Amino acid sequence: MNEILIGRAVSRIDGPAKATGSARYAAEFTLPGMVHAVLVQAPFAAGRVDRLDIDAARSMPGVLAVLRHDQRVRYFGQTVAVVVADSHERATAAAFAVRVQGDAAAPVADMHHALAAATTPDEMRGGADTSRGDLAAGLADAHARIHATYDTPMEFHNPMEPHATLAAWDAGRLTVWTSTQGIFNAQATLAAAFDLAPETVRVICPFVGGGFGSKGRCWPPVILAAHAAREVGRPVRLVLTRAQMYMNNGHRPQTIQNLSLGCAGDGRLTALRHDGFSQMSDPSLGQFTEGFAIATRTLYSCPAVVTGHKTVPTSFSLPTYMRAPGEASGMFALESAIDEMAAASRLDPIAFRIANYADHDENDNKPFASKALLQCYREGAARFGWARRRAAPRALRDGHVLIGMGMASATYPTQRQPSHARVALFADGGVLVQCGTQDLGTGTYTIMMQMAAQTLGAPADKVRVELGDSILPRSGVSGGSTTAASVMPAVLQAAQAVRTRAFGLALAHQGATWQGVQPETMTLRDGIIASPRGTISLVEVMRSSRHARIEVDTAAALAPDAAKFSRHAFGAQFAEVRIDEDFGTIRVSRYTGVFGVGQLLNAKTGRSQLIGGIVYGFGMALLEAARPDPHTAQIMNANLSEYLVPVNADVPEIDVQTIDDPDMATGPLGLKGIGELPIVGVAGAIANAVFNATGKRVRSLPIRIEDVL
Ligand code: MOS
């Protein structure tokens, strides 16, 4: 049984179902009488639809309905109609036959030209603007200072699984199978859209093929599927094409970030300013700000820090959370600027960071709940072989290939949401664990199994896990790297309560024989309850007490002292790049990441998450960018054929190491989120390595061949 204990390298229990194809994803569910919906999209980015010619589409074979409403267009590809037909192919053909004519206006296709329209967002973690100390004095007194602007592009999530929904109505009740990071979020959004009580909407999502933030909100296509199903009186499936995923589900907004740093002769920061602009859609679509300067408030010790965020309305769809929103894009800029400042101070980048280490949160004036950053620097430097790096650029080469090394810090907040869980123990030793959470592919099923199995002494194959259904106990959105830290305390609490009840029944059953036995001295393993006075089988205890199951439903409350601490996870990223001097090709040749991850629940799935985050960091650094047409605001590379993401050939062996630094302020298990931490800092480490290799400081992502030639 030991092989499934918390912390061990346990394989995903849903692995066989996924490998054999029996795991069903949203687009794979079917219902009798099911029909298909396809979106019709605006062929311009701004203006108004004047004429929507649907006659041809409506008379095509198999077409059941063409739903439309004339409207203002705010981005290219905005949905203006939905075609429903008896097959996906017929619906697609009819959607192409719908003619959309409009009064196209000039779109805002480049945020650089719209900065005058920028406004300060009112909903942001910790506020849009912060200021402490005297920035002007800190800069004026500095021994060395730098000012620089960094740019990050619009990026798209591109989960493997497309967004898909099957919606069915039955006597005023709505059931929706959809790929989502938050079943209760989807339930609430659908209930509001159709003016229903939330409990009349059921959302089912047993598997998610990646989300990366794009499935955090319940986007319009989900609502349109439900609307179409109600209109035609049949279940409707709506699956987005890959290209449509560049118009309907948010993206990481483009940013323009300004950094000013000053430091004293000993390398201590005297002033730090980080502000700039985050691209937004037309404000009528919602609000989102990439919080790029949030991490800057706490990461380093500095007496004068000013941060600020403004949003710029453009003719693109509403941006959203994507892979460490804010931290990933902001830390590219900050960690590049820190590297520039270290070079200006003639200090080693790690020594510079250690000189500016923050031993408490100077923004909130709170102690850190736990922080392993210094260990991450040291351990990472040793594993990576940082000592072999040459301070001067262009000092290491292998023939015509320049070799550079760079590093960066990583940080991501530790957050937790309230969660319920239900655990049931059966007389045969079987265990059922239920929680209305989601498994994005990261291993939620598996860690839930581990926790219940460990607490109730059951082998893995005796534990059944159910999640991804809004009839299960309520839990939160799987976003902000919160799932494990939110769900696992609830599972632990429910399983412990079940065990306590089983012990109580055993004591009652044994009567005088076990009188005076303290429950803390009792154990449950493989269906046997043991005490210092002997053993009794669970089967016998439950039969005699007439229990078919022992079941407990609990809510795990947030830790009361959590707010007294600043709670973050930290890490250190190390990259080696090899750049061909003649061709400018940039390869990451070696990589080490060391992360303080709190209590690690599963060494195998945890390691996979860390490696996955780093790989997406490679994409951010070197490949990923949406390329809008400057005249039409159409995204010209809206598909995986032209929007580049890393593939195996782009990725060397990645060395990851974890450091246990349990955060006991957040919850009883010491957990921190690890989903997003590992992407943070990767682009900075790679940019710094590119500088070390070439002497060229690239301040705009992704770093391209033409930047280093
Ligand atoms: Mo994550 S970008 O918070 O889904």
Calculate how far, in angstroms, residue 676's C-alpha sits from the geometric centre of ligand 1. 7
- Enumerate residues lining ligand 1, CB below 6 A: 181, 211-213, 216, 321-323, 325, 479-480
Cα–Cα dist 612/596, whole Å: 16
Calculate how far, in angstroms, residue 482's C-alpha sits from the geometric centre of ligand 1. 9
Give the amino acid at 375: Q
- Residue 4: the pLDDT is 77
| Minimum-distance ligand 1 atom for the alpha carbon of 482 | 3
Helices and strands in the chain: count of H runs, count of E runs = 15, 27
Across the chain, mean pLDDT equals: 97
Give which of 549, 521, 525, 555 is closest to 537, Cα–Cα. Answer: 525
Q: pTM, whole model, 2 decimals?
A: 0.97
Task: Please report which helix (H) or strand (E) contains residue 452, including its range.
Answer: helix 444-456
What confidence tier does 559 reach under pLDDT thresholds 50, 70, 90?
A: confident
Nearest CA to ligand 1 atom 4: 213
Calculate how far, in angstroms, residue 90's C-alpha sits from the geometric centre of ligand 1. 35
* Inter-residue long-range contacts of 502-507, CB under 8 Å, 24+ positions, other chains counted: 502/425, 502/529, 502/538, 502/541, 502/550, 503/529, 505/541, 505/542, 505/545, 505/547, 505/550, 506/531, 506/536, 506/541
Q: Is the pLDDT of residue 196 over 50?
A: yes
Task: Please report which helix (H) or strand (E) contains residue 190, including its range.
Answer: helix 183-193
pLDDT tens profile 657-686: 999 999 999 999 999 999 999 999 999 999
Residue whose CB lies within 8 A of the most ligand 1 atoms, among 125, 321, 416, 620, for a mutation test: 321
Calculate how far, in angstroms, residue 244's C-alpha sits from the geometric centre of ligand 1. 20
Residue whose CB lies within 8 A of the most ligand 1 atoms, among 179, 676, 679, for a mutation test: 676
Cα–Cα dist 289/417, whole Å: 21
pLDDT tens profile 115-140: 999 999 998 988 999 999 999 999 99
Cα–Cα dist 485/358, whole Å: 25
Task: Please report which helix (H) or strand (E) contains residue 102, including its range.
Answer: strand 99-104
Strand order in the sheet with 269-280: 130-132, 305-313, 269-280, 255-263, 144-152
Q: What is the mean pLDDT of the segment spanning 518-535? A: 96
Cα–Cα dist 61/201, whole Å: 32
Calculate how far, in angstroms, residue 484's C-alpha sits from the geometric centre of ligand 1. 14
Cα–Cα dist 584/579, whole Å: 6
Q: What percentage of residues in the chain have a pLDDT greater than 90?
A: 97
Task: Please report which helix (H) or strand (E) contains residue 484, including its range.
Answer: helix 483-510
Place of tokens 């950094």: 259
| Minimum-distance ligand 1 atom for the alpha carbon of 215 | 4
Cα–Cα dist 231/217, whole Å: 24
Give the 3-state secondary structure of residue 116. helix
Q: Please enumerate in sequence order all residues whose Cβ is within 8 A of that of 404, keeping only pairs 6 or more positions apart, or say none.
A: 393, 396, 576, 577, 579, 689, 690, 691, 692, 693, 694
| Minimum-distance ligand 1 atom for the alpha carbon of 477 | 4
Task: Please report which helix (H) or strand (E) contains residue 379, including its range.
Answer: helix 373-384
pLDDT tens profile 590-630: 999 999 999 999 999 999 999 999 999 999 999 999 999 99
CA distances to 334, 579, 689 from 707, in Å: 20, 12, 14
pLDDT tens profile 358-412: 999 999 999 999 999 999 999 999 999 999 999 999 999 999 999 999 999 999 9
Calculate how far, in angstroms, residue 481's C-alpha sits from the geometric centre of ligand 1. 7
Calculate how far, in angstroms, residue 677's C-alpha sits from the geometric centre of ligand 1. 11
- Residue 2: the pLDDT is 56
Are β-strands 523-525 and 528-531 bridged in parallel, bridged antiparallel, or unpaired? antiparallel
Are β-strands 269-280 and 305-313 bridged in parallel, bridged antiparallel, or unpaired? parallel
| Minimum-distance ligand 1 atom for the alpha carbon of 479 | 3
Strands (E), 214-268: 236-239, 255-263
Give the bridge partners for 175, in sequence order: 168, 202
Strand order in the sheet with 396-398: 396-398, 401-413, 568-580, 586-596, 654-659
Residues annotated as catalytic are 676
Q: Is the pLDDT of residue 68 over 60?
A: yes
Q: Is the pLDDT of residue 90 over 90?
A: yes
Calculate how far, in angstroms, residue 212's C-alpha sits from the geometric centre of ligand 1. 5
- Residue 1: the pLDDT is 45
Give the 3-state secondary structure of residue 522. coil
| Minimum-distance ligand 1 atom for the alpha carbon of 325 | 2
Q: What is the DSSP string of 315-355?
A: SSPPP---SSTTHHHHHHHHHHHHHHHHHHTT--HHHHHHH
Q: Please enumerate in sequence order all residues whose Cβ is within 8 A of that of 586, keeping only pairs 6 or more positions apart, or say none.
A: 577, 578, 579, 622, 690, 703, 705, 708
Q: Using the CB atoms, write b or e for 356-393: b if 16+ within 10 Å.
A: bebeebbbeebebbbbbbbbbbebbbebbebeebeeeb
| Minimum-distance ligand 1 atom for the alpha carbon of 322 | 2
- Are 494 and 422 within 8 A, CB to CB? yes
